[in-house]
Amino acid sequence: MGETGMVVEQTGNTVAYGRAAQELALRRSEFDLAVHLGYVRTVRAPTGGRPRVPKEEIDRLRAEPGFPADLRECVSTVGTAQAAELAGISPERFTRLARTGHFSPVAYYLNRYRAVVWLYLAREVVDGAARHRDLLTGRAPADLRDRLKAGEDSRPRRWRARHRRLLLDRAADAWGSAAVLASFLAPLQVAELVPDVYERLHLDRLRPAPPHGHPESPAARGVADRLLVADDPAEVADLRARLAEAIRTARAHHPAPRPGTAEANRVAASTTPRAPAPPEAATPAPRPASSSQAAACAPSPSAHASPVRRSVPGRGPSPVRSGMVEEAVPVSADTGAAAAAAAPPLPVKAGRRAGRGVADGRGPHRSRRRPAPKAPAAPPGHTVPPTPGGRRGASRTGLLARLGLRRPRVG
């Protein structure tokens, strides 16, 4: 039988996660916890991806007496309020006992305020309450009060210990065990213990996936990621020692993939960065003008100045905002005439009609406003008062003449 036939046969003997949860009468979160705690056996998918559940495993669980109530009871979780009710104490006392390590959480989630909410197995809460019956009533011992005053909170550390133990039980080989230990240390800690970049790359490839319920948003994911990294000095020292021993064992078993091997090629293919985009084609420089053209375009100091737009190198034309006036640079009249013929039309002040500019042939700046309409001829014996537009036109013409911006009349 070929490889394709083996894959089809293996896939036919297993079911996907969602279907397995339905056949076992579990919610998705309960089924993930059952797999994590080892109540449901899974196998690796032949084509990669999420593990699958063998059909014989589902048949075994369904054939057990008390199904599905017993299986659901094994993975039933409660929050702090429900756990305190099961233990017969107040939520505040239960929180203090959990912070001092008398109750260990099995899972967590982040609420809408990105605060960590711990979950506990209901069966473990009942067993823990029976085991620590002397702490459920009366005044807490002095050592517990001192630890609480010092700010001790062992819930993250005890959750990591449980999670790490379950991951190590499912590790495939020595390198997988080392990857599990490295996932609970900061990257700088791992780099100190594993200086070889190819070994660190191999550990990162074997890094276990985040636990179920790991948030996806960046802000919430940052909070959840901090729970996965050891921060207690004693825990960090223990993990460093165990990781160093695991790396020595893994190296003795087989070295990490190196460049040129099939395994290294697969790793490199998954981590190869994208090729940079090709540079844009450079705009060809304009040809230099001849000496006669340069002499004709040279500004004359005695000519009247005509304002044109100033162009800033490396910056495109900026839009003209309402109420703003563009900056003008005086040039000669000849140069202004050539620039007026070649330059694009100037932007119009916002809120006014378009179509004013060079279209009437009176220059780029004298034609910003249309001339005022001529007043109708007055009947005999009547006089027409001057229109406001005529006054504005006359005052504007005089202002341009005083500023030296009026072009000389030809002819």
Q: How confident is the model over 270-280, as pLDDT tens digits? A: 444 343 334 34
Q: Does one domain contain both 61 and 101?
A: no
The answer to whether 238 and 191 are in contact (CB under 8 A) is: no
Please tell me the distance from the alpha carbon of residue 18 to that of residue 22, in angstroms, as a whole number: 6
Residue-level pLDDT at 409:
61
Q: Which of 265, 287, 306 is the last residue of a domain?
A: 265
Domain annotation covers residue 382: no
Q: Does one domain contain both 125 and 199?
A: no
Q: Which of 153, 185, 212 is the last residue of a domain?
A: 153
Q: Does one domain contain both 194 and 235?
A: yes
Residue-level pLDDT at 307:
42
The answer to whether 26 and 35 are in contact (CB under 8 A) is: no
Q: Does one domain contain both 160 and 249?
A: yes
Please tell me the distance from the alpha carbon of residue 332 to that of residue 344, in angstroms, as a whole number: 19
**Which of 83, 66, 76 minimizes the C-alpha distance to 27?**
76
Give the helix/strand (H/E) hosting 223: helix 218-228
Q: Does one domain contain both 168 and 254?
A: yes
Residue-level pLDDT at 57:
95
Q: Does one domain contain both 161 and 256?
A: yes
Domain annotation covers residue 6: no
Q: Does one domain contain both 45 and 148?
A: no
Q: Does one domain contain both 105 and 129?
A: yes
CATH number at residue 146: 1.10.10
Secondary structure E strands in 69-130: 77-78, 107-110, 116-121
Q: Does one domain contain both 121 and 179?
A: no
Domain annotation covers residue 321: no
Residue-level pLDDT at 210:
86
Q: Which residue has the tokens 């063998």?
A: 54
Residue-level pLDDT at 17:
87
Residue-level pLDDT at 77:
96
pLDDT tens string 295-325:
434 444 334 444 444 444 444 444 444 444 4
Residue-level pLDDT at 283:
39
Q: Looking at the 3D structure of the chain, how many domains does it have? A: 3
One-letter amino acid of 163: H
Domain annotation covers residue 103: yes
Domain annotation covers residue 245: yes
Domain annotation covers residue 326: no
Q: Does one domain contain both 106 and 159?
A: no
Q: Does one domain contain both 137 and 180?
A: no
Beta strands 116-121 and 107-110: pairing type?
A: antiparallel
Q: Which residues of the chain have pLDDT under 50?
A: 1-9, 267, 269-343, 348-365, 367
Please tell me the distance from the alpha carbon of residue 286 to that of residue 283, in angstroms, as a whole number: 9
Residue 307 pairs with which residues in a beta bridge? 330
Residue 243 structural domain: 154-265
Rounded to two decimals, the pTM is 0.61
Q: Does one domain contain both 127 and 200?
A: no
Domain annotation covers residue 250: yes
Residue-level pLDDT at 265:
55
Residue 145 pairs with which residues in a beta bridge? none
